[in-house]
Amino acid sequence: MKKRKVLKDESLKRVHRKSILFNNREIQAIDHYCKKYKINNKSKFMREMIISSILKKFDEDYPSLFEKRPTLFNRKPNGI
């Protein structure tokens, strides 16, 4: 059986390193979560959580056609 040659997109290669410091409670919570849900790759887990949080926020902040919604506080009274 022949092995396929996988073409990798160079722009997706991870080359930028960031460091995060946690206190004792935070690392205990992370360790407990990973053990409970059988997460072996903490780096992948944290990367996915960070990116999903960012994408969710981008989605929430995306401009819409009717960006300013009227509320009781920014409506103009009739006839004034």
Whether the Cβ atoms of residue 46 and residue 20 lie closer than 8 Å to each other: yes
Q: Is residue 52 part of a domain?
A: yes
| Residue 43: domain span | 26-61
Q: Is residue 17 part of a domain?
A: no
12-71, pLDDT tens digit by residue?
899 999 999 999 999 999 999 999 999 999 999 999 999 999 999 988 887 766 666 656
Could you tell me how many residues make up the chain?
80
Q: Is residue 10 part of a domain?
A: no
Q: Is residue 44 part of a domain?
A: yes
Q: Is residue 56 part of a domain?
A: yes
**Which position has the higher pLDDT, 69 or 9?**
9
Q: Is residue 50 part of a domain?
A: yes
Total domains in the chain come to 1
Which residue in 30, 11, 33, 12 sits closest to 20, CA to CA?
30
